[in-house]
Structure 1
């Protein structure tokens, strides 16, 4: 009997899917290859208390590429709180020297990072193309590591070096204190429009899954039918996921997470579809979905592949949006200083003041304090008007849940 030959494109497609699945299985079953933690420090003085009546905790996945280390550190300072967990990642576009400098800064620049030991840097470099499935593999890897390293956080937040917060962590923790902790904030729609053909019928291969350097994806000559075993949803790639749903994505006992992972391995912009499709096809989770990502951004008309770069002319609209984060920003944009001054009450080199650190933003001997030197109550938050506004907004949008 004659054996059928497999075309090179089909073989590459199968390889992409298999590699993506192997990445997830490796991340969920074994420790990360290398981390630079702040774990050599002594045990933190105050202990975060969990449970009813206490604020929640967030796990932040903050990603960047070459020459993004300074931006990642600035963003880290802007979203830092001792109750949270942080994992920083620079992809293969960054050199080893930049990655080591980021790790050294995490170890040495802020006493709070050393004492609370809640900031880590992924030490191994791997390639990522944000338009391909390697970006999805990176987020799933970060989620798996954060699940292993932090047993008590409630929500996973994905950010990039182009993002910045519109509220303090005291505001965010306060706003989420009354939110059921199984809810997921995922922008989604089943109205695929032009994406049905351009994204899901076309087959792409992402070489960044198997190359050492960030590599652009390529398009296969073949096409495929739209699936009938599940319904595709799409939306924003920026997410706030509950711990229970994150565990389902990484360790799910049914086969749907892995089946979809194989399918989206060969889909362009899979970060805009994988989590949406998984949650909306999961009977245990679809009614925990809130159709919002709590981000502020502006699309051009007609929309391009990226939202517009924000500047000072967008400041008031950002404030009025009731969003928690905004994007995109260029490095050291003047609007970031305005956000630091007027929204976060910090200098670009400070952590954000809160109940947990009473000396920040206060003068001692006529000098503004730039580091936290004395711990306050890390189990209490003091929200401002932005926190109240965000809490009202979230209380309203969580009334409607599910997928349509």
Structure 2
């Protein structure tokens, strides 16, 4: 799935920072490194985190890659984050076009945190990782108020951020203190970016923005019957892992990417990858070489018994 995702989003004029879970098997890390070594514009994050589904270490992994990207030799204008269960439903050309409509603004969908979410940032939470590690909060019980009297927002863990905003995140004292404060709140990746992007003096900020942005197409269980007509695959932690029956809904979405996919439904990614490749080749401005097309595969085997 990693190879399919990288293959779909790769273009030579972009730069890619790959974060590999520190808990991943050594063999997996070696294979990814071997693949990355083939490309000048792809590198592995210099600092790896032991990842969990949600939590501070997921947020820290983004920060680690941003720091590497800022200090890399490559020039770039904005950054988009992906996870291993994402897949693009817009081509690179389409993403650039959609991004241009926002001009020099960041895209961080979200709103002032609703009452149902506020309790998750007003108390310290333990962070659990898949391997059983527990992050022990430095602030037992109720947390202190947010630093610098910040108004906390709730939104998407996914974003499109300008380079100037990334540099702001890495250097501004409010951003640093907000990162420190976020270490023991629930789902900090869903609060951090959107909160900082609502600061009026932050580069590319959108103080009055809401949920607009269409970065991810996700089928949440609690949106069944309103945003979508049900998950055709199966739910994991209230998020739909797409099945083949979800493909029509996915490709009609205005979002840049869809989430989530996993290896239990391999046909979904294979079909989506072929659909995406055809769109890429159809938008090519130069001659298309034959080997850029995926080979046709037959799913029927004939067995003759004599």
Smaller-chain TM-score range? 0.7 to 0.9
State the 1:353 CA deviation: 8.6
| Mapped partners of 1:138, 1:235: distance in 2 | 18
**SS at 1:156 equivalent:** strand
CA contact (8 A) 1:163 1:327 kept: yes
- Following superposition of structure 1 onto structure 2, how do residues 114-125 of structure 1 map, counting pairs within 5 Å? 117-122=40-45, 125=48
Which has the larger displacement, 138-147 or 170-179? 170-179
**SS at 1:345 equivalent:** helix
**SS at 2:149 equivalent:** coil
Of the three residues 252, 258, 261, the one matched with 1:326 is 258
Q: Which residue matches 2:231?
A: none
Count how many residue pairs are aligned between Structure 1 and Structure 2: 278
1:132 aligns with 2:55: yes
**SS at 2:80 equivalent:** strand
| Mapped partners of 1:99, 1:123: distance in 2 | 13
**SS at 1:184 equivalent:** coil
The structure with higher relative contact order (CA 8 Å, sep 6+) is 1
Q: Could you say if the C-alpha distance between residues 79 and 360 of structure 1 is closer, same or farther in structure 2, counting changes exceeding 3 Å? A: farther
State the 1:328 CA deviation: 0.4
Query: What do the CA deviations read for 1:311-365 (whole angstroms, capped 9, x no partner)?
Result: 222212222221110000112521212212223229xxx99994578325558xx
Q: Which residue matches 2:300?
A: none
Q: Which residue matches 1:203?
A: 124
Which has the larger displacement, 216-225 or 136-145? 216-225
Structure 1 residues not aligned, in runs of 5+:
1-70, 370-404
| Mapped partners of 1:155, 1:143: distance in 2 | 11
**SS at 1:308 equivalent:** strand
State the 1:169 CA deviation: 1.6
1:232 aligns with 2:232: no
| Mapped partners of 1:98, 1:187: distance in 2 | 34
Q: Which residue matches 2:216?
A: 295
| Mapped partners of 2:97, 2:176: distance in 1 | 35
Q: Which residue matches 1:185?
A: 107
| Mapped partners of 1:310, 1:300: distance in 2 | 12
Q: Could you say if the C-alpha distance between residues 360 and 96 of structure 1 is closer, same or farther in structure 2, counting changes exceeding 3 Å? A: farther
- Following superposition of structure 1 onto structure 2, how do residues 99-110 of structure 1 map, counting pairs within 5 Å? 99-108=29-38
Q: Which residue matches 1:336?
A: 269
State the 1:240 CA deviation: 1.2
Q: Which residue matches 1:307?
A: 239
| Mapped partners of 1:137, 1:357: distance in 2 | 42
| Mapped partners of 2:141, 2:287: distance in 1 | 58
CA contact (8 A) 1:90 1:125 kept: yes
Q: Which residue matches 2:26?
A: 96
| Mapped partners of 1:360, 1:164: distance in 2 | 24
| Mapped partners of 1:214, 1:315: distance in 2 | 35
TM-score w.r.t. the length of structure 2 is 0.79
Of the three residues 152, 173, 183, the one matched with 1:265 is 183
TM-score w.r.t. the length of structure 1 is 0.61
Structure 2 residues not aligned, in runs of 5+:
225-235, 297-306
| Mapped partners of 1:292, 1:362: distance in 2 | 31
| Mapped partners of 1:356, 1:277: distance in 2 | 42
State the 1:143 CA deviation: 0.6
State the 1:126 CA deviation: 3.1
CA RMSD of aligned residues (A): 3.1
Query: What do the CA deviations read for 1:281-323 (whole angstroms, capped 9, x no partner)?
Result: 3433433757324210011138984521112222122222211
CA contact (8 A) 1:353 1:361 kept: no
**SS at 1:149 equivalent:** coil
